[in-house]
């Protein structure tokens, strides 16, 4: 049975950039998406439709021991991505489309849920309008997420916000000045990496202190830079850069130093391929990501940070 602890609603929004989740007309072929290493590095969670609808699955870090997580959703809701809350619990969002005046403008109610990987027992931590992609701080006392201010089709600003779990205080970290999405805590919780853009500019990888000060843009150049993932020593950030090649979407995993130097691609590939959504293993040895290089549907793969040792984990 689900225990509903807090229902805290804020007016915000939802972002649709490549690599984010969209559930309209899900594909019938199996797709494995959005891998995330457990804090102890022994397992990877991801979302897959291999069970018929999109839901969380867990496997060991070497790809063995695949199993579905026994969680259920409220009626009419769908999974909106999943990460680890702790070594035995997951943090995910349940999303449900809403209409204003009978008109569907892309609005969603998003509920952030913490659930046990063993029995699926869950608790609601937060609910908002068009809030997405929660992540828990290393100390476990705060969530960071993205919040859209206005109707989706009005191209509103999107901010990074935090929720203090003990007080339910919401803090806006960015400045209503563009698109700020896909926030990720540094290993010590003092900084946050995210994807940012102003106006019609492409997304770049940015960092800031956990209180929103000291913002800095790390990457530059063409393409849409997304989905930052910290190395365990906090010296590097992995991300994916999306561009158009021959009219199709092409994405590569890249790594940049946290001082903005050393930006380089680690998954160079022939043809048009999508390598996306990296997650760095806690021991620093691997980066997990989703790739469609096996034939058009996404699978979970790993690679060493130096670009060697590519291996597909799911089939």
Question: What does each C-alpha distance from 296 to 211, 249, 274, 287, 293 come to in angstroms?
Answer: 41, 12, 9, 21, 7
Q: Are 202 and 195 in contact (CB under 8 A)?
A: no
- Around Cβ 52, how many Cβ atoms within 10 Å? 7
- So what's the pLDDT on residue 106? 61
Does this model's pTM top 0.95? My answer is no
- So what's the pLDDT on residue 2? 34
- So what's the pLDDT on residue 101? 56
| Edge-to-edge strand list for the sheet holding 275-280 | 275-280, 287-291, 299-303, 311-312
> Can you give the pLDDT of all 315 residues of the chain as single tens digits?
333 333 333 323 323 333 333 334 444 689 999 999 999 999 999 999 998 888 999 999 999 999 999 988 877 788 888 999 999 999 999 988 876 555 545 678 899 999 999 998 999 999 988 899 999 999 999 999 999 986 655 678 999 999 999 999 999 999 888 999 999 999 999 999 999 998 889 999 999 999 999 999 999 999 999 999 999 999 999 999 999 998 999 999 999 999 999 999 999 998 899 999 999 999 999 999 999 998 889 999 999 999 999 999 999
User: Can you read off the two tokens belonging to residue 147?
Assistant: 């919040």
Q: Are 290 and 300 in contact (CB under 8 A)?
A: yes
Q: Are 41 and 59 in contact (CB under 8 A)?
A: no
User: Can you read off the two tokens belonging to residue 169?
Assistant: 């205080």
In degrees, rounded to 5, the angle at the alpha carbon of residue 140 between the alpha carbons of residues 136 and 141 is 100
Strand partners, 78: 95
Q: Are 8 and 290 in contact (CB under 8 A)?
A: no
- So what's the pLDDT on residue 153? 58
What is the Cα–Cα distance from 104 to 152, expressed in whole angstroms? 10
Report, in angstroms and rounded to the nearest whole number, the Rg of the chain calculated over CA atoms: 18
- So what's the pLDDT on residue 16? 35
- Report strand pairing: 122-129 vs 3-4: parallel
What are the two backbone dihedrals, phi and then psi, of residue 153, each rounded to the nearest 5 degrees? -75, -5
The number of helices, as runs of H, and strands, as runs of E, in the chain is 0, 25
């Amino acid at each position: 049975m689900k225990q509903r602890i807090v229902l805290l609603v804020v007016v915000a929004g939802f972002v649709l950039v490549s690599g984010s989740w969209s559930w309209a007309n899900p594909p019938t072929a199996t797709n494995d998406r959005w891998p995330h290493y457990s804090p102890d590095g022994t397992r990877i969670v991801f979302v897959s439709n291999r069970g018929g609808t999109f839901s969380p699955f867990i496997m060991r870090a070497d790809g063995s021991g695949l199993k579905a997580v026994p969680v259920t959703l409220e009626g009419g809701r769908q999974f909106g991505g999943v990460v680890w809350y702790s070594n035995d619990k997951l943090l995910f969002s349940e999303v449900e489309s809403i209409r204003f005046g009978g008109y569907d403008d892309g609005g969603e109610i998003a509920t952030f849920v913490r659930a046990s990987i063993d029995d699926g027992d869950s608790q609601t931590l937060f609910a908002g309008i068009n809030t997405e992609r929660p992540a828990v701080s290393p100390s476990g006392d705060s969530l960071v997420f993205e919040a859209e201010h206005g109707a989706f089709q009005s191209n509103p600003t999107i901010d990074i916000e935090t929720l203090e779990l003990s007080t339910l205080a919401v803090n806006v970290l960015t400045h209503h000045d563009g698109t700020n999405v896909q926030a990720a805590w540094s290993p010590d919780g003092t900084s946050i990496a995210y994807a940012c853009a102003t106006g019609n500019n492409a997304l770049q990888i940015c960092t800031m202190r956990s209180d929103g000060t000291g913002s800095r843009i790390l990457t530059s150049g063409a393409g849409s830079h997304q989905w930052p993932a910290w190395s365990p020593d906090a010296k590097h950030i992995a991300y994916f850069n999306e561009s158009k090649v021959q009219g199709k979407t092409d994405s590569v995993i890249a790594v940049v130093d946290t001082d903005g130097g050393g930006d380089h691609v680690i998954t160079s590939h022939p043809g048009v391929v999508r390598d996306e959504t990296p997650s760095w293993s806690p021991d620093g040895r691997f980066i997990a990501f989703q790739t469609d290089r096996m034939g058009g549907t996404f699978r979970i793969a790993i690679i060493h940070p130096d670009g060697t040792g590519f291996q597909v984990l799911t089939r």
